[in-house]
């Protein structure tokens, strides 16, 4: 390719009243990004031992052609930085199957059985990083910021150290390599954790389209972690569905400018599987729950929906919290935020109208409401960490009487990861409501002290279960404020694993109506 020629014309006017310096720049040929015909050619020089940033959220927006091509190169001992680990036979699951990954730095890996097997058997290293911290570590790396302080993870294994990075291959459950403690510092009375930036040797990115200069545009929620990762590697390789001429993408529609794009390839035969297909219920389908388990979840969701107030910005966790949208009181507008980069989530799409590029943080297909906005993962967690979200509803495995929350790990058994929960509960001033069943197979879930690794320390403001509602004070403990109509205080005592106060204004547990409008 010929280098562009550059013509500079300088003119100085001779007017007696003023002198004006004029510079005219023109190029006879635009410098294009390096475009490859095949993804195999774009990744063939990635060596064993390389550190890769791999975009995507779940399997939405993953560079499927580049991953498939990399699986054929024979490169091994790779460190992969990615929000997720794909699924068993797609995304990074392919590289796990071919044993090319030595270490993962990830937020949530709960959908990949082969990953869990390799990790628990000591074949694979894993550095868990909260989702927002992961996004900010990558953003900082691309911006030349070596480290930063965040409130996320204080008082947990992430900060205190001891999280299992590698298990022993010989002795089941024995931790061979554990995470190190993080430095902490207090600002304005709030505890913060020092986190170091992340950069990569290569970034594997998926975008919707790019022009021949390398200006990039994403589509819907497929931007996610691709956005910050583009900027944080020595060599960014971007696969797109379409390559267009400069000017086709309007300047305001360029999500990633060409300076960050080193290699460009047009992907072929995209599969774009949907991880969790959800459709709107057809007309005439039962509106209310019909099974005992569904009825239990419905009781919790109907009460939790009453936490919403008009105009608030809310983040809803996976599971029961997402059911709450069915019971938002009429006349109340709630702006739903999702960690993968949305404000203004709508309901599930009608059958046949789902879009693989449009999902929520639970990887479910969704729609958008009028006035919705979409952004990258780093921006999403900036608004969370910056305390711009009014309320967070999420599930829990255990909650202590002083508001400690555990919901991300059972050491040696359950491998999922913190996801975005640590960021959501760790934001200063966040209002956190935990929605969960009161007991699990007869075991208490509300305890004097959590026995599982913490998601956050003294972070929960309210607990809503299928039996009762508690307010939580970080120093005074629990106060019972509502009891389900068919239960007594004695029932709550028998099913709660710690002491609590009883409100003098104790009320029956309220329930919102199904909102079919």
Q: Let me know whether 239 and 304 are in one domain.
A: no
Closest by CA position to 372, among listed 409, 347, 408: 347
Least confident of 215-229, 287-301, 331-345, 434-448: 287-301
In a domain, 218, yes or no: yes
| Interval 3-31 mean pLDDT | 43
Q: What is the pLDDT of residue 287?
A: 66
In a domain, 47, yes or no: yes
Question: With contact defined as beta carbons under 8 Å apart, do 48 and 76 qualify?
Answer: yes
In a domain, 94, yes or no: yes
Q: Which domain range does residue 385 map to?
A: 292-508
Q: Let me know whether 359 and 415 are in one domain.
A: yes
In a domain, 1, yes or no: no
Give the active site residue among 339, 354, 437, 482: 339
Dihedral class, residue 284 (left if φ above 0, else alpha if ψ from -120 to 50, else beta): left
Reply yes or no on whether 288 is catalytic: no
| Whole-number Å distance between alpha carbons of 387 and 431 | 9
Mean of the per-residue pLDDT values of the chain: 92
Closest by CA position to 380, among listed 338, 430, 326: 338
DSSP state of 252: G
Q: What is the pLDDT of residue 34?
A: 94
Q: What is the pLDDT of residue 290?
A: 80
Q: Is the pLDDT of residue 32 over 80?
A: no
Residue 283 banded pLDDT, cuts 50, 70, 90 = confident
Closest by CA position to 206, among listed 151, 270, 138: 270
Q: Let me know whether 300 and 246 are in one domain.
A: no
Pairing of β 200-211 and β 233-244: parallel
In a domain, 187, yes or no: no
Q: Is the pLDDT of residue 380 over 90?
A: yes
Q: What is the pLDDT of residue 97?
A: 95
Q: Let me know whether 306 and 359 are in one domain.
A: yes
Residue 516 banded pLDDT, cuts 50, 70, 90 = low
Domain count, the chain: 2
Q: What is the pLDDT of residue 71?
A: 97
| Interval 346-362 mean pLDDT | 96
| Interval 133-147 mean pLDDT | 98
In a domain, 22, yes or no: no
DSSP state of 291: S
- Please give the model's pTM, rounded to 2 decimal places: 0.92
Q: What is the pLDDT of residue 517?
A: 56
**% the chain with pLDDT above 70:** 93
Burial (0-12, 13-18, 19+ Cβ within 10 Å), 158:
buried
Q: Let me know whether 417 and 318 are in one domain.
A: yes
- pLDDT tens digits along 73-125: 999 999 999 999 999 889 999 999 999 999 999 999 988 889 999 999 999 99
Enumerate the H helices of 176-279 as residue ranges: 226-229
| Interval 192-205 mean pLDDT | 98
Q: What is the pLDDT of residue 337?
A: 97
| Whole-number Å distance between alpha carbons of 476 and 497 | 16
Q: Let me know whether 383 and 472 are in one domain.
A: yes
Paired with 150 in beta bridges are 193
**CATH, residue 410:** 3.40.1080.10
In a domain, 183, yes or no: no
What is the longest distance spanned by two Cα atoms in the chain?
96
In a domain, 171, yes or no: no
* CA dist 426 → 151, 192, 457, 461 (Å): 6, 10, 8, 12
Neighbour-count burial for 54-64, b at 16+ CB within 10 Å, e otherwise: bbbbbbbbbbb
């Amino acid at each position: 390719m010929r280098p562009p020629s550059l013509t500079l014309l300088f003119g100085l006017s001779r007017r007696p009243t003023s002198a004006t310096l004029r510079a005219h720049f023109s190029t006879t040929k635009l410098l294009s990004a390096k475009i490859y015909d095949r993804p195999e050619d774009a990744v063939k020089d990635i060596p064993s031992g390389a550190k890769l940033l791999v975009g995507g959220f779940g399997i939405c927006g993953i560079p499927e052609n580049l991953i498939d091509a990399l699986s054929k190169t024979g490169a091994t001992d790779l460190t992969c930085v990615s929000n997720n680990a794909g699924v068993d036979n797609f995304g990074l699951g392919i590289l796990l199957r071919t044993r090319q990954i030595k270490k993962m730095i990830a937020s949530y890996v709960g959908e990949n059985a082969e990953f869990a097997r390799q990790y628990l058997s000591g074949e694979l290293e894993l550095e868990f990083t909260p989702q927002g911290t992961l996004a900010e570590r990558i953003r900082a790396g691309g911006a030349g910021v070596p480290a930063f302080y965040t409130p996320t993870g204080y008082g947990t294994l992430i900060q205190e150290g001891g999280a299992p990075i590698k298990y022993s291959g010989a002795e089941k459950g024995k931790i061979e390599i554990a995470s190190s403690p993080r430095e902490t510092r207090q600002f304005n009375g709030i505890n913060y954790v020092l986190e170091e930036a992340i950069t990569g040797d290569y970034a594997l990115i998926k975008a919707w389209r790019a022009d021949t200069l390398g200006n990039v545009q994403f589509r819907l929620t497929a931007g996610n972690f691709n956005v910050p990762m583009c900027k944080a590697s020595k060599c960014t390789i971007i696969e797109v569905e379409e390559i267009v001429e400069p000017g086709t993408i309007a300047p305001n529609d360029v999500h990633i400018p060409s300076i960050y794009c080193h290699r460009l390839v047009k992907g072929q035969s995209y599969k774009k599987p949907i991880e969790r297909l959800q459709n709107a219920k057809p007309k005439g389908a039962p509106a209310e729950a019909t099974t005992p388990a569904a009825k239990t979840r419905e009781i919790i969701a109907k009460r939790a929906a009453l936490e919403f107030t008009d105009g608030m910005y809310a983040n809803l966790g996976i599971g029961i919290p997402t059911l709450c949208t069915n019971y938002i009181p009429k006349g109340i507008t709630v702006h739903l935020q999702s960690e993968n980069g949305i404000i203004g989530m709508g309901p599930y799409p009608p059958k046949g109208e789902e879009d693989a590029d449009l999902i929520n943080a639970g990887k479910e297909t969704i729609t958008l409401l009028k006035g919705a906005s979409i952004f990258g993962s780093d921006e999403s967690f900036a608004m969370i960490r910056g305390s711009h979200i009014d309320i967070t509803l999420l599930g829990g495995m255990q909650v202590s009487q002083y508001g400690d929350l555990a919901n991300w790990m059972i050491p040696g058994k359950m491998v999922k990861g913190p996801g975005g929960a640590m960021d959501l509960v760790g934001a200063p001033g966040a209002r956190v409501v935990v929605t969960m069943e009161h007991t699990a197979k007869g075991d208490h879930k509300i305890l004097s002290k959590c026995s599982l690794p913490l998601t956050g320390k003294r972070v929960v403001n309210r607990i809503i279960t299928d039996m009762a509602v508690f307010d939580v004070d970080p120093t005074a403990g629990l106060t019972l404020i509502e009891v389900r109509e068919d239960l007594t205080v004695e029932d709550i005592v028998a099913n709660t694993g710690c002491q609590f106060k009883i409100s003098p204004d104790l009320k029956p547990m309220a329930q919102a109506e199904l909102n079919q409008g």
